């Protein structure tokens, strides 16, 4: 992209080589007399006119760049008095270190962005480049410049604006952002209405960022240099194959790629291990026979098709069905229920007897617009270790705990401390492996959970554990693993009660 610029103070030889990337439309001067040349030749042989500020107002340009710092204030004021937009009048250092190597913040682009936020009812934005921090003000209250008639939108008061500061952080940014994180990885499992990518990047960096954040946003706005290699490469991507709708819109000096994630289907799998007359459920609910393992079962689809571990069901309980969901489904929103336990939208405690107020797709999508995961309301059932010791016996539990801790230290060492804390000190939990969440959160959890589960299964000799509950220790510990995983994430959790239906098999 070649920006159109006008220069003041070109006489310093230090700056003469810096403009090969730009279209220099003029060299400005505050005064012009008989000794003033009418043109100047750049050392790349381009010849440009010398003009006054009044003549500049009749020309088309993106920036006036002032290279003479001693005259900066004088030139700036004179240009502003000539009603040249103030965001177009910048210093040499600002241009070289900010605009050329990043993307300039200007009022026109900000207004287009705020209009998009308003029209699409955006409530939560992840600004990965701190674009708003480079704005015209240090607060959300923007100044209304008289010369900019379109400058009439402000950052909405109810907009949750989050930023990523990879290196430097200035506390004054807290006036603009609700929260600033130091690493993108720390909040990738959260969901955002809008992902904002405004810094100029290489084609590979754009694609990596889209892939890394894929599934965590409804919309993405990506600023790209027009006709650059990144622009051409992004133009060639198969967005439809990624469930994305793409549109391109010219910006002030660049092009905006607008992406919309269109996949929103919901599937809740009702995990069954015995015959049961299921209640009438919305169409998003799908019964699945956990542990079918090639048997006839009782007339339900099983967890023994495709990639599966159905044979482990006697030892890991409903986790075989969850593994099957992970490997064999593609729905954007996915969750679990049990044949006699369902999430309900009622203001009640953890359990409700025989309620039929089951969540429908619209309610689930509304809940996940403000939360990242739906869980069963936590119950203060006491210390997890005490419960296991009473249920399994002290020595057996301690041996199983050691195996799991050793596995976690080998497979996911960053979670060892959280595992110990969740077992020994945490007194509440989200039982039954019940959840509803978005695909990228589900994938992240399963990618963490099942290497631990399968390795633990390799290390435990089940020939000495013929009967429940001891033979199901991996399943019970797997249920308890949800809490240490949650402790290490920054997820917005929605707790709901669970309806416990009477057995009718």
Confidence of residue 15 (pLDDT cuts 50, 70, 90): low
At 280-294, the pLDDT tens digits run 999 999 999 999 999
**Residues 128-164: tens digit of each pLDDT:** 998 888 764 556 665 444 444 444 567 788 999 999 9
DSSP for 193-256?
EEEEE-S---HHHHHHHHHHHTTSEEEEEEEE-TTSHHHHHHHTS-SGGGTEEEEEEE-SSSEE
pLDDT band at 90 (very low <50, low <70, confident <90, very high): confident
Report the percentage of the chain scoring pLDDT > 90: 63
Residue 148's pLDDT is: 42
- Span 165-183, pLDDT tens digits: 987 888 888 888 999 999 9
Distance CA 422, CA 428 (A): 9
**Range of weakest confidence among 225-234, 301-310, 420-429:** 420-429
pLDDT at 428: 72
Q: Mutual orientation of helices 473-480 and 384-392 as an angle, nearest 10°?
A: 170
CA distance 429 to 384: 8
Token digits of residue 321: 């069905």
Q: What is the pLDDT of residues 18-50, one digit of tens each?
A: 677 788 999 999 989 999 999 988 776 788 999
For the record, the structure tokens of 3 come out as 């920006």
CATH class of the domain whose range is 4-99: alpha beta
Report strand pairing: 435-438 vs 373-376: antiparallel
The DSSP secondary-structure symbol of 429 reads B
Instruction: Choose which CATH entry (3.40.50.150, 3.40.50.720, 3.90.230.10, 3.10.105.10) describes domain 107-261.
Output: 3.40.50.150
pLDDT, tens digit, 9 for 90 and up, residues 381-409: 778 899 899 999 999 999 999 999 999 99
The runs of H, that is alpha helices, within 20-64 are 53-56
Whole-angstrom distance, CA of residue 145 vs CA of residue 149: 8
Q: What is the pLDDT of residue 143?
A: 47
**Tokens 């000794």 identify what position?**
35
Domain span(s) for CATH 3.40.50.720 in the chain: 4-99
Q: Are 204 and 229 in contact (CB under 8 A)?
A: no
The mean-pLDDT minimum among 118-132, 258-272, 370-384, 483-497 falls in: 370-384
pLDDT value of position 429: 78
Name the more confident of 348 and 410: 410
What is the radius of gyration, based on Cα positions, of the chain? 30
- Tell me where in the chain the CATH 3.40.50.150 domain(s) lie: 107-261
Cβ contact 139:130 at 8 Å: no
In the chain, the N- to C-terminal Cα span, in Å, equals 70
Q: What is the pLDDT of residue 137?
A: 57
Per-residue pLDDT tens over the stretch 437-462: 999 999 999 999 999 999 999 999 98
Arithmetic mean of pLDDT over the chain: 88
| CA distance linking residue 238 with residue 281, whole number of Å | 37
pLDDT (tens digit per residue) in 202-227 = 999 999 999 999 999 999 999 998 88
């Amino acid at each position: 992209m070649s920006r159109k610029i006008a220069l003041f103070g070109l006489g310093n030889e230090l700056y003469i080589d810096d403009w090969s990337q730009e279209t220099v439309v003029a060299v400005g001067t505050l005064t012009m007399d008989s000794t003033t040349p009418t043109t100047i030749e750049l050392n790349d042989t381009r010849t440009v006119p010398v003009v006054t500020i009044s003549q500049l107002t009749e020309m088309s340009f993106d920036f006036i760049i002032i290279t003479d710092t001693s005259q900066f204030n004088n030139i700036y004021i004179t240009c502003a008095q000539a009603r040249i937009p103030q965001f177009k009048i910048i210093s040499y250092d600002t241009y070289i270190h900010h605009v050329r190597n990043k993307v300039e913040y200007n009022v026109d682009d900000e207004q287009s962005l705020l209009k998009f936020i308003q029209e699409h009812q955006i409530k939560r934005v992840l600004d990965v480049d701190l674009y708003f921090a480079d704005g015209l003000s240090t607060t959300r209250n923007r100044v209304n410049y008289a010369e900019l008639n379109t400058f009439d939108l402000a950052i909405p008061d109810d907009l949750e604006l989050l930023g990523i500061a990879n290196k430097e952080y200035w506390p004054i940014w807290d006036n603009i952002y609700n929260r600033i994180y130091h690493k993108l990885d720390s909040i990738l499992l959260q969901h955002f209405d809008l992902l904002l990518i405004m810094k100029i990047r290489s084609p590979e960096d754009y694609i990596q960022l889209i892939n890394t954040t894929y599934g965590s946003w409804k919309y993405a706005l990506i600023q790209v240099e027009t006709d650059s290699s990144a622009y051409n490469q992004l133009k060639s991507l198969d967005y439809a194959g990624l469930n994305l709708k793409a549109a391109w819109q010219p910006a002030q000096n660049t092009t905006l790629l607008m992406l919309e994630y269109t996949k929103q289907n919901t599937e809740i799998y009702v995990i069954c291990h015995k015959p049961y007359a299921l209640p009438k459920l919305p169409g998003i609910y799908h019964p699945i026979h956990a542990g079918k393992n090639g048997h006839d079962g009782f007339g339900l689809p099983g967890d023994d098709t495709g990639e599966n571990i159905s044979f482990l069901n006697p030892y890991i309980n409903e986790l075989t069905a969850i593994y099957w969901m992970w490997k064999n489904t593609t729905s954007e929103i996915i969750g679990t229920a049990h044949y006699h336990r369902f999430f309900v939208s009622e203001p009640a405690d953890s359990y409700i007897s025989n309620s039929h107020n089951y969540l429908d797709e619209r309610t689930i999508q509304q809940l996940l617009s403000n939360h990242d995961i739906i869980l069963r309301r936590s119950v203060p059932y006491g210390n997890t270790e005490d419960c296991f010791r009473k249920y399994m016996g002290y020595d057996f539990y301690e041996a199983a705990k050691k195996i799991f801790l050793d596995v976690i230290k080998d497979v996911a060492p960053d979670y060892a401390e959280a595992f110990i804390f969740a077992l020994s000190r945490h007194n509440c939990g989200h039982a039954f492996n019940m959840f509803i969440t978005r695909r990228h959160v589900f994938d992240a959890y399963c990618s963490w959970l099942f290497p631990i589960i399968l390795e633990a299964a390799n290390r435990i000799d089940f020939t000495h554990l013929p009967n429940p509950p001891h033979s199901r220790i991996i399943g019970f510990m797997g249920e308890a693993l949800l809490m240490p995983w949650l402790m290490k994430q920054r997820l917005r959790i929605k707790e709901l009660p669970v309806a416990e239906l009477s057995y009718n098999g």
